[in-house]
Amino acid sequence: MQPLPIRTTVVGSYPFPGWLEFSVKHLNEFGNADKEELIEDAVIAAIHDQVTAGLDVITDGEQTRLDFNLSFYGFIKGIKENTDELRKFGPPAHDQRGKNSIIDTLTAPNGLGAVKEFKRLQKLAPKGPVLKTSVPGPYTLSGRLLPNEKYKDRFAITEALLPFIKKELEDLVAAGCTEITVDEPSMSCYAYKEDTKRFVDIFNRTVAGVVGKCRLSTTLCFGNFQGRPVGYRSLKPMLPDFLNLTVNEVHIEMANREFAEIELLATFAEKMDVAVGIIDVKNYYIETEDDVVQRIKKCLQYVPAEKLAVAPDCGLSQTARWASRQKLVNMVKGAKKVRENLK
């Protein structure tokens, strides 16, 4: 059970400062020391916004990741970017994200970079908030790798990636990380058409080495590419199998779905803590403190306060910083107001 009722948390990502986006386009003009300074400054900015908002749990905002998933491909050997497979024109959609061909045996000899990110967060964050790190799960990480003769389908690629992520999680715990989110939005997006028991087996084998050694969570969102979901937005296909995920907490997208299927939160709460997305990351309406209070009260009809956390629907990387900042401030204010009334 979580250490605090109605805990305030985030999924992982936070918008880049504008100057970081500009700098990334001109990295060839920076030395290695300059790049590290850029990263540290960006993480300090993300920490500042989260701490100022008053969050109970913070991350580094994934400021080193241009994409929550694709950025990890830089640590994987045996792949090569494939731009030929991309659709380059027309309305934006997730088929315009990067793809990679597998040209050799997949390896990750130097890990996936999350440990270095966590150690930087440890160094820069103030005492008080819980420090969380997020890592994509193997099924989601496999999504932009193209099958070949050796790795014949997405599940074969997933199995090849699984040991890399398993080790990264174990190394994070060894480095002192006490809270980890394993992002598997591809599992929630495709639960309606894939074998959900197989999904659960993959997930549980991935986290087996850290169960009981940290607080584990996963995110059940439905994707976000430039403000658009990418999957079938229903919790029902996930049940009952996803109740067997070996996690302490499950994060569920609710706000953008207008709290559809909210009654199913009770089913998840029977087995695990539930972090409910009460802030819409795809909408520039800024939820008021009263909005947050009312949404939390609605959730409390299905999840007891000691098992309820509140968060944005998904990562905030695609939401403008000014909006992300104010949304978090109001989320925390509303949560504190409800928490105080529990006493």
DSSP annotation string for 111-142: --SHHHHHHHHHHHSPSSSEEEEEEE-HHHHG
Alpha carbon distances (Å) from 239 to 137, 196, 256, 297: 19, 9, 20, 24
Range 145-173 average pLDDT: 96
Q: What is the pTM of this model?
A: 0.93
DSSP three-state, residue 278: strand
CA nearest 125: which of 174, 38, 178, 60?
60
66-117 pLDDT per residue, tens = 765 667 888 999 999 887 777 888 887 777 777 899 999 999 999 999 999 9
Per-residue buried b or exposed e for 175-185, using 16+ beta carbons within 10 Å of the residue's own CB: eebebbbbbbb
pLDDT at 178: 97
Q: What are the residues facing 277 on neighbouring strands?
A: 253, 311
**What digits encode the pLDDT tens for the residues 234-254?**
899 999 999 999 999 999 999
Q: What angle do CA 167, 213, 43 make, to 5 degrees?
A: 70
Distance CA 7, CA 55 (A): 8
Q: Which fold has domain 7-342?
A: TIM Barrel (3.20.20)
* pLDDT at residue 202 in the model: 98
Q: Where are the domains of the chain?
A: 7-342
Q: What is the pLDDT of residues 264-290, one digit of tens each?
A: 999 999 999 999 999 999 999 999 999
Which pLDDT score, from 0 to 100, does residue 190 have? 93
Rounded to an integer, what distance in angstroms lies between the CA atom of residue 32 and that of residue 27? 10
Tell me the average pLDDT of the chain: 93
Per mean pLDDT, which range of 122-131, 165-174, 229-238 is the poorest?
229-238
CB atoms within 10 A of CB 186: 24
What pLDDT score does 153 carry? 96
- Cα(159)–Cα(131) distance, integer angstroms: 29
Residue 163: predicted pLDDT: 97
- Which tokens hold the place of 22? 């500009």
Average pLDDT, integer, range 5-31? 91
The CA distances from residue 41 to 60, 62, 134, 321, in Å, are 11, 13, 20, 15
Confidence at 177, pLDDT banded by 50, 70, 90: very high
DSSP string for residues in 212-272: TTBEEEEEE----BTTB--S---SGGGTTGGGGS--SEEEEE-GGGTTTTGGGHHHHHTTS
Does pLDDT of 294 surpass 60? yes
Q: Is the pLDDT of residue 227 over 70?
A: no
**Whole-number Å distance between alpha carbons of 204 and 207:** 5
Is residue 134 scored above 80 in pLDDT?
yes
- Which residues, listed in sequence order, are joined to residue 80 by a DSSP beta bridge? 101
